[in-house]
Amino acid sequence: MVAMEDGIRVGQLLVATPQLDDPNFRRSVVLVVEHDVDGGTLGVVLNRPTEVPVDRVLPPWAELVTGPSVVFQGGPVALDNALALARLPGEGEPLGWRALDGGSEVARVGLVDLDAPPGLLAPELLQLRVFAGYSGWAAGQLRAEIEEGAWYVVPAEAGDVFAGDPKRLWREVLRRQGGDLAFVSTFPDDPTLN
């Protein structure tokens, strides 16, 4: 049996709608890093920096991290596990790095093998960010949440993963979409204070 297409792609962003009030995902921007219609979806929340310095949990990687040099909370699942995303120039796939299967904007963003020696990638790294945990959805679950109005699905830009001011990312991603989504970017954090 052939899997049905659901429109979700690796390299896209899931942007929480104002209606999504789950504290794990409120005003979050999630990069889809793996997707299989039959197997589910994995993503990483890009805009949840923690107070934990990278050098406290992964000292060998700390000097290679793009600021802020803290661990980001990638989602509510497996918070005791770290994963990293890195952007590299040019072509090829060096040892210790696997490109996301996404579109052209994130084609040179990939997952880092944090067990590999940092020196393998250091000469080629443009940017690196470390995440604790990830976000996950069972087969069909994310599609259902999108249809219920919990998520906007929009194209990613490579810079989104390494945003210098991650707390502004939700508004910035929506604003650049134009139209109704640009208007949504102006919604107050707490509509009851409006």
Can you tell me the mean pLDDT for 33-59? 96
- Three-state helix/strand/coil letters over 53-117: EHHHHCHHHHCCCCCCCEEEECCCEEEEEEEEEEECCCCCCCCCEEECCCCHHHCCEEEECCCCC
pLDDT tens track for 108-154: 899 999 999 999 999 999 999 999 999 999 999 999 999 999 999 99
For the chain, the average pLDDT equals: 91
Please confirm whether the linkage preceding 68 is cis (ω < 30° from 0): yes
Asked whether residue 171 carries a pLDDT value surpassing 70, the answer given is yes
**12-84+126-186 topology per CATH:** VC0467-like (3.40.1740)
Provide the percentage of residues in the chain whose pLDDT is more than 70: 92
- State the pLDDT confidence band at 107, using cuts at 50, 70 and 90: low
Given a contact cutoff of 8 angstroms between Cβ atoms, the answer to whether 110 and 99 are in contact is yes
What's the confidence (pLDDT) of residue 6? 79
Please report which helix (H) or strand (E) contains residue 182, including its range.
helix 179-184
More confident residue, 104 or 167: 167
pLDDT at 35: 93
Which candidate, 158, 156, 153, places its Cα nearest to that of 137? 153
φ, ψ (nearest 5 deg) of residue 67? -60, 150
Measure Cα distances from 78 to 23, 83, 145, 188 in Å. Answer: 17, 10, 21, 31
Residue-level pLDDT at 3: 45
**Domain spans of the chain?**
12-84+126-186
List phi, psi (to 5°) of 39. Answer: -110, -15
